[in-house]
Amino acid sequence: MTLTTVFSHARRCAVVAAFALMSACGLFLSEEDQLKRALDARTQGDFRAASIDLKSLLEKNPQHREARFNLGLVTLDMGDAAAAARDLERAQKDGIAAERVVEPLSRAYLAQGETDKALSLVDAELAKTNATLDAATQAARVKLLLLRGQISLAKRDLPGAKQSYEAALALEPKNVRALLGMVGVIDGTEGAQAAMAVADRAIEAGPNEPSAYLARAALYMRLRDTAAAASAFQKASELATAPTQRNELLTSLGGLTQAQLLLNQKDEALKTSARMMELAPNARLSRYTRGQALAQTGDLDKARELLEQNLAGGEDLLSRLMLGAIDLQQGKLAQAEMHLSSVVASAPDNVEARQLLAQARLRQAKPTEALDTILPAVADDKGKSSVELLTLAAQASLAAGKTKEGVALLKRSAEQNPQSSRAQLDLAAGYLAAGQADQALAVLGGVELEADLPYRIGEILFLEADEAGADGGSFGDDKALSFFKGACGAKGDGLSDGRFGGFEGLGEFEIEEGGFREGEGFGGRFDFFRLGAALLGFEG
């Protein structure tokens, strides 16, 4: 073979390769063929390929409304609701019929928390349909009623949701999605146990429906049966194999990650959340769930990066809440206060946000602001406030100089939670802070504990109080310090035990001759040990 022949052959290969590449990019495809290829790719679940073809088509013809509409659908499939809404709005403006746009656009709005816009769209379209028309129209109406119920649930409008789902079931009695909607309604009105019976009906009607198992998993989480919930989430993820079930798959994996974290299966949670990022790296749920798994395993900086990406795409209260918690854990108190204040302003009923914000303000020596933050969460709780929440409110009251109110909150916690040794110990500590040693001793005498450490510390306090006499005196003498070290361990390791005052995962606290030093953990909570150390004369 001559050199000329070799070069000629190489040129032919290069030309063939170039034509193949241009064909792959759609340069030699008609608009109709390129659109068809994109739709086929979406049907097969290859959303990335579909997106590439549709964007290429729109570069050649920005006015191609079918390409714009389908790009919105594909983008919604990929979990980017904000971008999907922009494309769908443009498609409707360019002439796509409203009945085609309403459902996906409403879902895009709903995914961004824009429930009023979603509801307005759906109601306008429902007003055009009539339940007595042909089967196709009735099917469309059912679909809109289901979406309306979902939006109503997101708005916490349970009567509105119930009305929508009942209307859908009147048209299709075995509609799985309508049954699942009723699960949410009954859960909100009668409780998770009653809702479980409806979830079972949904599984009977659709045994291969991942959403039915998602509902069961959610109810198990509500009933605190985390292992059963994990199993149901796993089943849902195994059933969500169709390309059109990508959202169900992401939701299943997100729930499974949450359950794994609660079960302390951190390695499994990291693997599950990593799979979510592979499936939908731009989805808020993927980044949030991955961020949560990273935060729980100590990689706070990577978690922060993902959560900040969520906020860069628009307001996301869950991501902002977690960012506030991370800032609090890292000691960035001003930043924590900024994020958490924003969450409380937007969602004043969010108890977790109020609790974290109060902690951030307490750690900045702002007890009055902390008290103002936490009191609305416990003002009318009908006996549902946790020990931790009431204790935090008491801490803020005591720090603000409102001793009587602080002790009253601790008494309320002990009365509402008579089986909680934590609540009883906190009440004893509150009595001590108020100078009511007899009442504290009476409380401690009735506490039954698996370990005797808190009781021994209580005995130390009263022993030293008796020795100090009525005129008061230092509790921090050598005998008390020695006894305290003996009870807690030379380095205070016992204080990080989750049985004692909720310090699990909050960092180490060390006892030194020079004082009581807080480590780098997530501190700032009122606790029997902290008050005990203060009464013994330690710093902190």
pLDDT in tens, 239-278: 999 887 888 999 999 999 999 999 999 999 999 999 999 9
Mean pLDDT (the chain) is 79
Query: Do 22-115 and 387-535 come out as alike in CATH topology?
Result: yes
pLDDT in tens, 145-200: 999 999 998 898 999 999 999 999 999 999 998 999 999 899 989 999 999 999 99
26: its two tokens: 């759609």
**Residue given tokens 């008290």 in the structure block:** 371
Window from 228-242, 288-302, 444-458 with minimum mean pLDDT = 444-458
Report whether 53 contacts 26 (CB < 8 A): yes
Q: What is the 3-state secondary structure (H, E, C) of 368-418?
A: HHHHHHHHHHHCCCCCCCCHHHHHHHHHHHHHCCCHHHHHHHHHHHHHHCC
More confident residue, 441 or 43: 43
pLDDT in tens, 464-517: 444 444 444 444 444 444 434 444 443 343 333 333 333 222 223 333 333 333
User: What integer is the mean pLDDT of 236-241?
Assistant: 95
93: its two tokens: 């403006």
pLDDT of residue 116: 92
Q: What is the 3-state secondary structure (H, E, C) of 81-104?
A: HHHHHHHHHHHHHCCCCHHHHHHH
Confidence of residue 28 (pLDDT cuts 50, 70, 90): low
pLDDT in tens, 44-72: 888 889 999 999 999 999 999 999 999 99
- Fold that domain 22-115 belongs to in CATH: 1.25.40
Confidence of residue 11 (pLDDT cuts 50, 70, 90): low
pLDDT of residue 216: 95
Window from 163-167, 235-239, 325-329, 520-524 with minimum mean pLDDT = 520-524
pLDDT in tens, 121-146: 999 988 887 655 666 778 888 999 99
> Crossing angle of helices 528-535/478-488, nearest 10°?
160
pLDDT of residue 12: 54
The residue extents of the domains of the chain are: 22-115, 387-535
CA 259 to chain CA centroid, Å, is 12
Give me the DSSP letters along 345-358: HH-TT-HHHHHHHH
Taking 70 as the threshold, does the pLDDT of residue 540 lie above it? Answer: no
Integer Cα distance of 417 and 406 in angstroms = 17
What CA dihedral angle connects 281, 285, 288 and 291, to 10 degrees? -50
Class of domain 387-535: mainly alpha
SS3 at position 533: helix
Phi, psi of 324 (to 5 degrees): -60, -40
- Whether pTM exceeds 0.85: no
419 contact partners, CB below 8 Å, separation of at least 6: none
